[in-house]
Amino acid sequence: MRTYDLTPLFRSTVGFDRMTRLVDAALKADEATLSYPPYNIEKLGEDNYRISMAIAGFAPENVEIVTQEQTLIVSGKAKQDPDTAEYLHRGIAGRAFERRFQLADHIKVTTASLVNGLLHIDLVHEIPEAKKPRTIKIETGKIETGKIETGTVEAGRIEATTPATHQVAA
């Protein structure tokens, strides 16, 4: 495996801490950790997403879903069965896991359900009102010396309001 030293890049940046952590985590990821449990990410609509994970054998009380900052963490703790059975072949994975997903800004987890061994986590992209585009009403007016008369345009009709007196600095 090739190693990269990004320290010089990180020393000369300010405010990119999240990006630094993402790059660092991607470079340190272990292949075995990345393969279990398998998952799908689906886009259900314009702002709706679903993560589906195959976690057969896990009960809802053995699975924990946590959002922390911009990270979704799904972890499962394997239940300890008494080892009374004698296995000829044991191929069903029952090991603990932790899977992390980096979420974009304004992505929120709405629901989670466990159906037929598949854990479904629904997400929605909610843009705050302050970030949504808004339409600005255009006012019209007539400028006279020392006075500005303002009004509004509605359906092709101009309504003048009281004139406002403004001092012009010379």
Task: Name all domains of the chain by residue range, CATH numbers in brackets.
Answer: 1-31 (no CATH), 36-131 (2.60.40.790), 135-170 (no CATH)
pLDDT tens digit sequence for 106-149: 899 999 999 999 999 999 998 888 888 888 888 887 766 666 55
Amino acid at 73: I
- Is residue 123 within 8 Å of 103, Cβ to Cβ? yes
Rounded CA separation 120/122 (Å): 6
- For residue 99, which of 128, 45, 63 has the smallest C-alpha distance? 63
pLDDT tens digit sequence for 6-64: 677 666 666 666 666 666 666 666 555 567 889 999 999 999 999 999 998 889 999 99
DSSP 39-50: EEEEE-SSSEEE
pLDDT tens digit sequence for 156-165: 555 555 555 5
For residue 84, give the DSSP letter.
T
pLDDT tens digit sequence for 51-97: 999 998 889 999 999 999 889 999 999 876 666 778 888 777 678 89
